[in-house]
Structures are given as structure tokens and as C-alpha cells.
């Protein structure tokens, strides 16, 4: 590695803008990469579970040219570290800087008593996979991303009359119910750990600050809440594509047997610039669907898609086996 390059800890109050800038330069190399903003960064690092230790930068002649974050989730009882992508500016690659950054991050985890670490990389990212392999990482899980238009949805089986789906307003009472549903539904999910009320409150506050509109539908069986869907539209997320991005999470608790499932639908909604932000369809009073799982997500997505003048597409990431 060029001896003029130094790897040093992230300096709070000094490196934030460089961190965001490197993220934005690297992320746009990926077709669906979404740049971030300093406001989003500030909200992320103020999360109650954000680990600000383990951040390192590569610096050349006083300029930051690479970053890594080897973090430890303070709420993780297993204390497994996670290496957030190493990022090196394109013009400085293949000189050993990525390896040096990663190595420093991994050492910092070890110094903190961590014995295992994970990292995630897209399958099509040959450089990222090679870097991790070179560091001794072994694949342990594969995720699938799928996409389809929401035109001509497939016919679904008849609705189950045992289900009742109601929109719930954001309130402290509903937050407690959603938290307990979320934690119950996610128990069997990879890397599960319960989310805390402080985190939920922080996410809600962040969404409010970023103007992300979210609505939630709760599924009841015989009056008992068994799962929920949250659907949000981020007005800024796809601004660089002149689009809005929506995300849909469906969580159904495991106790409901055949309805145990987890789906994540990320969607892009074309939006002519200058037009009004998309409003939450769930906010219309009395709106109700009787349907479990995926049907709920698809119907909700379709109702957004039906907004005049807008095209809609969705991608679905599901655990293998669903």
C-alpha cells in the first residue's frame, strides 16, 4: 500500500461530511444505489443502538479516500460483530487500501472481545466478494431479490374470513402492540434480536423528520392481533431517479401456524417532479381488507399504484422456503 496512506479512527465532528460523500460516490456505482444525506446520516448515528466505535478512514494527503465500520450491536446478546461495507474511492483501488481498512476494523472488534463477525455483499459484486474471501469470510446465507410489475396481479385463494385487517393510527398504545408483534413475528428470523421501544420511537421520529409517510395495518384473529404490515413512502429516497421509494413490511406472528411468514417488499413509484407527495392510502377511514400475508402487501401496493398517472413496480425479498 502507498506509504502515504494512513488508516486512522473516524474523528467525530470532522469526518462526517467525508463519510457521507464517500458513501454517495460509491453507492451510485450500483444500479439501484440510493445516495444519502447528512440529515439521514445524523439520524442514523443518533439511533440508540448505533455503535459509533469501530469506524476507520483511509486518508491520503489529508483527504479521506476510504471508510469502514466494524460495528457491534449493543443489544446483541451474542456479541457478533458486523462489518459494514468497506468503501474505497474508485481511483485509489487495487492498492491494498480496502484490505488495510477491513483488517483494522476486524482488529478493533477483536480488541473489544468479539469473536465472530459477519458481513453482507451482493452476489454480483465480484470485488466485494473477493475482498471478503481474501479476509477469510465464508458464505453462510443467500438472499433473493425478485421484481415484478403490479399490473395484472395473480388470482389469490379466497379470503380467510377469520382475518380482520384494520388500519391503526400511530400512538403510544399502537406502538407497544406493534413492538410486541414485531418481536414475536421475527423470532425465527436470521440474526433475530428483540427491538426495543427506544429504537421504535427513534425510527418513528426519524421518519417524521425525513417526511416519510407510514401507515400500518394490523391483522386480528378473533380480536387478537397476530400480525401487521407497515407501508412507507420515502419522498427523498429516489429523488436522484425522479422517483419515490416505498417499503412494505409484513409480519405475522408465528403462533398463527400456517400464517407464519415474513416478507419485505421494496417498491419504486414513478413520480413526475413537482407533483404532490403520495399520501398514505391507509389514512382513509374505514379502509379494511380481509387477507393475510402477501395479499395484504400486494393489495396495499396496488392501491398506491392505482393513483392516477403513476407507474408502479415492486421487488420482493423473501426468505428461502417462503
Q: Kindly list the residues in this chain that would bind ligand COA in the complex (CB under 6 A).
A: 26, 85-88, 93-99, 119, 121, 125-128, 130-132, 134
Cα dihedral 307, 313, 318, 322 sign: positive
Q: 118: which residues sit within 8 A by CB, 6+ positions away?
A: 80, 81, 82, 83, 140, 191
CB of 58 to ligand COA, least distance (A): 8
Three-state SS for 12? coil
Q: What is the DSSP letter of 272?
A: -
Q: Please report the DSSP string for 123-160 in residue order.
A: TT-HHHHHHHHHTT-------EEEEEESSSPPP-PPP-
CB nearer to ligand COA: pick between 132 and 238: 132
CB of 145 to ligand COA, least distance (A): 16
CB of 1 to ligand COA, least distance (A): 8
Locate cell 421475527: which residue? 186
CB nearer to ligand COA: pick between 133 and 156: 133
CB nearer to ligand COA: pick between 98 and 282: 98
CB nearer to ligand COA: pick between 130 and 156: 130
Q: 23: which residues sit within 8 A by CB, 6+ positions away?
A: 35, 36, 67, 87
CB nearer to ligand COA: pick between 130 and 288: 130
CB nearer to ligand COA: pick between 60 and 195: 60
CB of 29 to ligand COA, least distance (A): 6
Cβ atoms within 10 Å, residue 273: 7
CA distance 28 to 37: 13
Q: Give the 3-state secondary structure percentages of the chain, helix then strand then coil, rounded to 5.
A: 30, 30, 40
CB of 7 to ligand COA, least distance (A): 11
Q: 109, 10, 143, 141: which is closest to 67 by C-alpha? A: 10
CB nearer to ligand COA: pick between 97 and 265: 97
CB of 119 to ligand COA, least distance (A): 6
CB of 115 to ligand COA, least distance (A): 20
Amino acid at each position: 500500500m502507498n506509504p502515504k496512506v494512513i488508516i486512522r479512527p473516524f474523528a467525530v465532528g470532522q469526518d462526517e461530511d467525508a463519510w457521507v460523500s464517500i458513501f454517495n460516490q460509491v453507492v451510485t456505482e450500483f444500479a439501484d444505489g440510493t445516495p444519502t444525506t447528512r440529515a439521514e446520516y445524523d439520524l442514523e448515528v443518533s439511533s440508540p443502538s448505533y455503535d459509533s466505535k469501530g469506524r476507520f478512514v483511509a486518508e491520503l494527503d489529508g483527504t479521506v479516500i476510504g471508510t469502514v465500520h466494524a460495528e457491534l450491536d449493543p443489544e446483541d446478546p451474542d456479541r457478533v460483530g458486523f462489518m459494514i461495507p468497506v468503501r474505497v474511492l474508485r481511483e485509489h483501488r487495487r492498492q491494498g487500501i480496502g484490505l488495510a481498512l477491513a483488517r483494522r476494523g476486524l482488529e478493533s472488534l477483536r480488541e473489544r472481545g468479539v469473536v465472530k463477525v459477519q458481513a453482507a455483499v451482493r452476489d454480483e459484486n465480484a470485488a466485494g466478494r473477493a475482498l471478503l474471501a481474501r479476509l477469510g469470510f465464508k458464505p453462510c446465507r443467500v438472499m433473493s431479490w425478485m421484481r415484478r410489475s403490479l399490473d395484472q396481479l395473480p388470482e389469490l385463494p379466497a379470503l380467510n374470513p377469520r382475518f380482520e385487517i384494520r388500519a391503526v393510527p400511530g400512538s403510544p398504545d399502537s406502538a407497544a402492540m406493534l413492538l410486541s408483534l414485531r418481536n414475536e413475528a421475527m423470532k425465527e428470523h436470521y440474526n433475530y434480536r428483540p427491538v426495543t421501544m427506544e429504537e421504535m420511537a427513534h425510527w418513528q421520529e426519524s421518519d417524521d423528520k425525513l417526511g416519510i409517510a407510514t401507515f400500518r395495518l394490523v391483522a386480528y384473529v378473533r380480536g387478537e392481533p397476530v400480525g401487521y404490515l407497515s407501508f412507507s413512502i420515502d419522498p427523498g429516497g429516489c429523488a436522484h431517479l425522479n422517483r419515490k421509494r416505498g417499503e412494505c413490511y409484513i409480519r405475522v406472528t408465528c403462533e398463527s401456524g400456517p400464517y407464519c411468514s415474513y416478507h419485505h417488499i421494496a417498491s419504486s413509484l414513478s413520480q413526475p417532479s413537482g407533483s404532490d407527495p403520495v399520501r398514505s392510502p391507509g389514512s382513509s377511514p374505514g379502509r379494511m381488507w380481509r387477507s393475510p400475508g402477501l395479499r395484504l402487501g400486494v393489495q396495499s401496493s396496488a392501491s398506491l399504484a392505482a393513483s392516477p398517472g403513476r407507474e408502479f413496480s415492486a421487488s420482493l425479498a423473501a426468505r428461502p422456503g417462503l
